[in-house]
Amino acid sequence: MDEEERKFRDELTAAVDAIQSLLEHSVTIQEQSKEIEKKIHQLGKQRTEATSDLLEHANTENALAQQRTGMAQERTALVREQTRLSTRSTELATIRTDFARERTTLAGQRTDLAVLRTDFSRNRTNLADQRTHMAGFRSRLSEKRTELAGKRTIFSNMRTELARGRTDLALIRTGLAFLSLAIAFFRFFGLSWWSFFDGALALGSLMMVSVGLVGYWRSSRSVKILESQAATEQEAVTVK
Protein backbone atom coordinates (compact mmCIF):
# COMPACT_ATOMS: atom_id res chain seq x y z
CA MET A 1 0.00 0.00 0.00
CA ASP A 2 2.86 2.39 0.82
CA GLU A 3 4.57 1.53 -2.50
CA GLU A 4 1.40 2.33 -4.48
CA GLU A 5 0.94 5.65 -2.65
CA ARG A 6 4.57 6.60 -3.32
CA LYS A 7 4.19 5.75 -7.03
CA PHE A 8 0.94 7.70 -7.14
CA ARG A 9 2.60 10.77 -5.54
CA ASP A 10 5.50 10.53 -8.01
CA GLU A 11 3.10 10.31 -10.97
CA LEU A 12 1.00 13.18 -9.60
CA THR A 13 4.09 15.37 -9.06
CA ALA A 14 5.31 14.64 -12.59
CA ALA A 15 1.88 15.45 -14.02
CA VAL A 16 1.64 18.72 -12.04
CA ASP A 17 5.14 19.72 -13.21
CA ALA A 18 4.15 18.94 -16.81
CA ILE A 19 0.93 20.95 -16.45
CA GLN A 20 2.83 23.87 -14.93
CA SER A 21 5.39 23.74 -17.78
CA LEU A 22 2.63 23.66 -20.39
CA LEU A 23 0.81 26.55 -18.71
CA GLU A 24 3.99 28.61 -18.69
CA HIS A 25 4.52 27.69 -22.33
CA SER A 26 0.88 28.67 -23.05
CA VAL A 27 1.37 32.07 -21.38
CA THR A 28 4.50 32.61 -23.42
CA ILE A 29 2.66 31.69 -26.61
CA GLN A 30 -0.24 33.95 -25.69
CA GLU A 31 2.20 36.81 -25.19
CA GLN A 32 3.77 35.95 -28.52
CA SER A 33 0.27 35.83 -30.03
CA LYS A 34 -0.43 39.33 -28.73
CA GLU A 35 2.81 40.58 -30.20
CA ILE A 36 2.04 38.89 -33.48
CA GLU A 37 -1.42 40.41 -33.54
CA LYS A 38 0.21 43.79 -33.03
CA LYS A 39 2.52 43.04 -35.90
CA ILE A 40 -0.46 41.94 -38.00
CA HIS A 41 -2.15 45.21 -37.17
CA GLN A 42 0.94 47.09 -38.23
CA LEU A 43 1.21 44.96 -41.33
CA GLY A 44 -2.42 45.75 -42.10
CA LYS A 45 -1.48 49.38 -42.12
CA GLN A 46 1.49 48.61 -44.31
CA ARG A 47 -0.52 46.30 -46.56
CA THR A 48 -0.91 49.03 -49.09
CA GLU A 49 2.84 49.50 -49.09
CA ALA A 50 4.07 45.92 -49.48
CA THR A 51 2.04 42.95 -50.68
CA SER A 52 4.96 40.68 -50.05
CA ASP A 53 4.95 41.75 -46.39
CA LEU A 54 1.22 40.91 -46.18
CA LEU A 55 1.87 37.42 -47.51
CA GLU A 56 4.64 36.92 -44.98
CA HIS A 57 2.38 38.05 -42.15
CA ALA A 58 -0.37 35.71 -43.39
CA ASN A 59 2.06 32.79 -43.27
CA THR A 60 3.09 33.80 -39.78
CA GLU A 61 -0.53 33.95 -38.71
CA ASN A 62 -1.17 30.48 -40.13
CA ALA A 63 1.82 29.14 -38.20
CA LEU A 64 0.52 30.69 -35.01
CA ALA A 65 -2.92 29.16 -35.66
CA GLN A 66 -1.27 25.76 -36.00
CA GLN A 67 0.57 26.36 -32.73
CA ARG A 68 -2.70 27.29 -31.05
CA THR A 69 -4.27 24.08 -32.41
CA GLY A 70 -1.37 22.04 -31.02
CA MET A 71 -1.69 23.78 -27.67
CA ALA A 72 -5.42 23.03 -27.63
CA GLN A 73 -4.65 19.36 -28.29
CA GLU A 74 -2.06 19.39 -25.50
CA ARG A 75 -4.61 20.97 -23.14
CA THR A 76 -7.10 18.24 -24.08
CA ALA A 77 -4.47 15.56 -23.35
CA LEU A 78 -3.69 17.23 -20.03
CA VAL A 79 -7.39 17.25 -19.10
CA ARG A 80 -7.61 13.53 -19.96
CA GLU A 81 -4.50 12.81 -17.87
CA GLN A 82 -5.94 14.83 -15.02
CA THR A 83 -9.18 12.84 -15.23
CA ARG A 84 -7.23 9.55 -15.24
CA LEU A 85 -5.23 10.65 -12.19
CA SER A 86 -8.44 11.65 -10.39
CA THR A 87 -9.91 8.21 -11.15
CA ARG A 88 -6.71 6.56 -9.91
CA SER A 89 -6.84 8.66 -6.73
CA THR A 90 -10.44 7.55 -6.15
CA GLU A 91 -9.42 3.90 -6.59
CA LEU A 92 -6.55 4.32 -4.14
CA ALA A 93 -8.90 5.96 -1.63
CA THR A 94 -11.25 2.96 -1.97
CA ILE A 95 -8.32 0.57 -1.42
CA ARG A 96 -7.24 2.56 1.64
CA THR A 97 -10.79 2.34 3.00
CA ASP A 98 -10.84 -1.45 2.49
CA PHE A 99 -7.48 -1.75 4.23
CA ALA A 100 -8.78 0.36 7.12
CA ARG A 101 -11.82 -1.95 7.47
CA GLU A 102 -9.58 -5.03 7.44
CA ARG A 103 -7.32 -3.38 10.02
CA THR A 104 -10.34 -2.69 12.23
CA THR A 105 -11.50 -6.31 11.86
CA LEU A 106 -8.04 -7.61 12.75
CA ALA A 107 -7.93 -5.29 15.77
CA GLY A 108 -11.24 -6.75 16.97
CA GLN A 109 -9.93 -10.29 16.48
CA ARG A 110 -6.75 -9.37 18.35
CA THR A 111 -8.87 -8.04 21.23
CA ASP A 112 -10.91 -11.26 21.31
CA LEU A 113 -7.71 -13.32 21.35
CA ALA A 114 -6.35 -11.19 24.21
CA VAL A 115 -9.55 -11.81 26.22
CA LEU A 116 -9.34 -15.53 25.44
CA ARG A 117 -5.69 -15.59 26.47
CA THR A 118 -6.62 -13.87 29.75
CA ASP A 119 -9.29 -16.53 30.39
CA PHE A 120 -6.76 -19.28 29.65
CA SER A 121 -4.28 -17.66 32.04
CA ARG A 122 -6.94 -17.48 34.76
CA ASN A 123 -7.88 -21.14 34.19
CA ARG A 124 -4.21 -22.12 34.27
CA THR A 125 -3.79 -20.28 37.58
CA ASN A 126 -6.83 -22.06 39.02
CA LEU A 127 -5.47 -25.42 37.87
CA ALA A 128 -2.10 -24.58 39.44
CA ASP A 129 -3.83 -23.76 42.74
CA GLN A 130 -5.77 -27.01 42.57
CA ARG A 131 -2.58 -28.92 41.78
CA THR A 132 -0.86 -27.29 44.77
CA HIS A 133 -3.81 -28.20 46.99
CA MET A 134 -3.75 -31.79 45.70
CA ALA A 135 0.01 -31.97 46.28
CA GLY A 136 -0.47 -30.85 49.89
CA PHE A 137 -3.29 -33.36 50.33
CA ARG A 138 -1.09 -36.09 48.83
CA SER A 139 1.74 -35.12 51.19
CA ARG A 140 -0.61 -35.36 54.15
CA LEU A 141 -1.80 -38.76 52.91
CA SER A 142 1.83 -39.87 52.57
CA GLU A 143 2.52 -38.77 56.15
CA LYS A 144 -0.62 -40.57 57.27
CA ARG A 145 0.45 -43.70 55.40
CA THR A 146 3.90 -43.52 57.00
CA GLU A 147 2.32 -43.19 60.44
CA LEU A 148 -0.01 -46.11 59.72
CA ALA A 149 2.95 -48.16 58.49
CA GLY A 150 4.77 -47.42 61.77
CA LYS A 151 1.69 -48.40 63.77
CA ARG A 152 1.29 -51.54 61.67
CA THR A 153 4.92 -52.43 62.40
CA ILE A 154 4.30 -51.90 66.11
CA PHE A 155 1.16 -54.06 66.00
CA SER A 156 3.01 -56.71 64.00
CA ASN A 157 5.77 -56.79 66.60
CA MET A 158 3.13 -56.88 69.32
CA ARG A 159 1.43 -59.83 67.60
CA THR A 160 4.79 -61.60 67.38
CA GLU A 161 5.43 -61.03 71.09
CA LEU A 162 1.91 -62.21 71.92
CA ALA A 163 2.48 -65.34 69.85
CA ARG A 164 5.76 -65.90 71.68
CA GLY A 165 3.90 -65.36 74.99
CA ARG A 166 1.29 -67.96 73.93
CA THR A 167 4.13 -70.35 73.15
CA ASP A 168 5.65 -69.69 76.58
CA LEU A 169 2.24 -70.22 78.22
CA ALA A 170 1.89 -73.49 76.33
CA LEU A 171 5.36 -74.46 77.58
CA ILE A 172 4.31 -73.57 81.15
CA ARG A 173 1.08 -75.54 80.72
CA THR A 174 3.01 -78.52 79.36
CA GLY A 175 5.55 -78.32 82.24
CA LEU A 176 2.73 -78.17 84.78
CA ALA A 177 1.08 -81.15 83.11
CA PHE A 178 4.32 -83.17 83.28
CA LEU A 179 4.80 -82.05 86.92
CA SER A 180 1.28 -83.21 87.75
CA LEU A 181 2.01 -86.51 86.00
CA ALA A 182 5.27 -86.95 87.98
CA ILE A 183 3.42 -86.27 91.27
CA ALA A 184 0.69 -88.70 90.25
CA PHE A 185 3.28 -91.39 89.41
CA PHE A 186 5.07 -90.76 92.74
CA ARG A 187 1.79 -91.05 94.65
CA PHE A 188 0.74 -94.12 92.71
CA PHE A 189 4.01 -96.10 92.83
CA GLY A 190 5.37 -94.67 96.05
CA LEU A 191 9.09 -94.63 96.85
CA SER A 192 10.81 -97.10 94.51
CA TRP A 193 13.22 -97.29 91.65
CA TRP A 194 10.66 -95.42 89.58
CA SER A 195 11.07 -92.49 91.89
CA PHE A 196 14.26 -91.48 90.00
CA PHE A 197 12.20 -91.25 86.80
CA ASP A 198 9.50 -89.35 88.66
CA GLY A 199 12.11 -86.95 90.08
CA ALA A 200 13.73 -86.43 86.67
CA LEU A 201 10.29 -85.83 85.13
CA ALA A 202 9.43 -83.37 87.88
CA LEU A 203 12.79 -81.61 87.53
CA GLY A 204 12.35 -81.34 83.75
CA SER A 205 8.83 -80.06 84.26
CA LEU A 206 10.08 -77.40 86.67
CA MET A 207 12.74 -76.34 84.14
CA MET A 208 10.09 -76.12 81.42
CA VAL A 209 7.89 -74.01 83.70
CA SER A 210 10.85 -71.77 84.59
CA VAL A 211 11.80 -71.27 80.95
CA GLY A 212 8.16 -70.58 80.09
CA LEU A 213 7.80 -68.08 82.92
CA VAL A 214 10.97 -66.20 81.89
CA GLY A 215 9.85 -66.13 78.24
CA TYR A 216 6.34 -65.03 79.19
CA TRP A 217 7.76 -62.28 81.40
CA ARG A 218 9.94 -61.03 78.52
CA SER A 219 7.00 -61.17 76.11
CA SER A 220 4.77 -59.26 78.54
CA ARG A 221 7.41 -56.57 79.01
CA SER A 222 7.88 -56.25 75.20
CA VAL A 223 4.10 -56.00 74.73
CA LYS A 224 3.89 -53.21 77.34
CA ILE A 225 6.73 -51.32 75.60
CA LEU A 226 5.00 -51.70 72.22
CA GLU A 227 1.67 -50.56 73.72
CA SER A 228 3.45 -47.47 75.09
CA GLN A 229 4.92 -46.76 71.63
CA ALA A 230 1.48 -47.20 70.02
CA ALA A 231 -0.04 -44.78 72.56
CA THR A 232 2.73 -42.26 71.81
CA GLU A 233 2.09 -42.57 68.06
CA GLN A 234 -1.65 -42.09 68.62
CA GLU A 235 -1.04 -38.95 70.70
CA ALA A 236 1.24 -37.56 67.98
CA VAL A 237 -1.45 -38.19 65.34
CA THR A 238 -4.09 -36.54 67.57
CA VAL A 239 -1.90 -33.45 68.07
CA LYS A 240 -1.40 -33.12 64.29
**H, E, C per residue of 128-173:** HHHHHHHHHHHHHHHHHHHHHHHHHHHHHHHHHHHHHHHHHHHHHH
pLDDT at 239: 53
pLDDT at 167: 86
pLDDT at 129: 87
Distance between CA 103 and CA 4 in Å, rounded? Answer: 18
10-residue mean pLDDT profile of the chain (240 residues): values are 70 76 77 77 71 65 79 82 82 84 86 87 87 85 80 80 83 83 72 68 81 85 81 65
